[in-house]
């Protein structure tokens, strides 16, 4: 083989052999925020997962993780900061009922879950604001 051809092929082999790590909520080890809602007549749960690296996933009952378009990394970074700034780790609400909403923050082995009844005047203003910001990540029309 011609020496110049071999030199040209080396970068191609290196590029093709490099794989980017594909994370899912099941194998991601850094901070993650899961959020969503559930209950109602069917009891179905719509759940979303925002990984600290910016990946966004959805999961419905009985389905696998579906990757959604990744949001702006600055917005993702701000959401993770806002969780701390707003003191959401200090909110301990576990209200279950017909229709509920939830936010779950997980970092390593530490996990904090907030569950509250859906509807007006059912939670704190800062919790509602944070939840609405998370829901802006989801770009679909729910019927």
User: pLDDT tens digits for the chain (143 residues)?
Assistant: 555 554 554 544 444 444 445 899 999 999 999 999 988 888 889 999 999 999 999 998 778 899 999 999 999 999 999 999 999 999 999 987 788 999 999 998 899 999 998 776 556 788 889 999 999 998 643 43
Cα–Cα distance measured from residue 34 to residue 92, given in angstroms and rounded to the nearest whole number: 16
What is the CATH code for 22-135? Answer: 3.30.1560
Bridge-partner residues for 57, per DSSP? 49, 67
CA distances from 38 to 45, 61, 65, 111 (A): 4, 10, 17, 20
- Quote the pLDDT of residue 112: 96
User: pLDDT (tens digit, 9 = 90+) per residue, 38-63?
Assistant: 888 888 899 999 999 999 999 987 78
Q: Where are the domains of the chain?
A: 22-135
- Quote the pLDDT of residue 19: 40
For residues 104 and 33, is the Cβ–Cβ distance under 8 A?
A: yes
- Quote the pLDDT of residue 121: 59
């Amino acid at each position: 083989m011609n020496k110049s051809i071999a030199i040209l092929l080396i970068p191609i082999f290196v590029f093709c052999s490099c794989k980017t790590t594909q994370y899912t909520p099941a194998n991601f080890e850094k901070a993650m925020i899961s959020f969503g809602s559930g209950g109602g007549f069917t009891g179905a749960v719509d759940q979303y997962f925002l990984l600290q690296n910016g990946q966004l996933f959805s999961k419905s009952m009985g389905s696998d993780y579906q990757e959604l378009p990744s949001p702006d990394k600055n917005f993702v970074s701000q959401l993770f900061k806002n969780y701390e700034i707003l003191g959401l780790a200090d909110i301990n609400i576990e209200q279950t009922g017909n229709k509920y909403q939830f936010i779950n923050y997980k970092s390593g082995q530490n996990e904090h879950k907030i569950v509250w009844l859906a509807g007006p005047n059912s939670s704190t203003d800062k919790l509602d604001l944070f939840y609405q910001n998370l829901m802006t990540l989801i770009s679909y029309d729910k019927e």
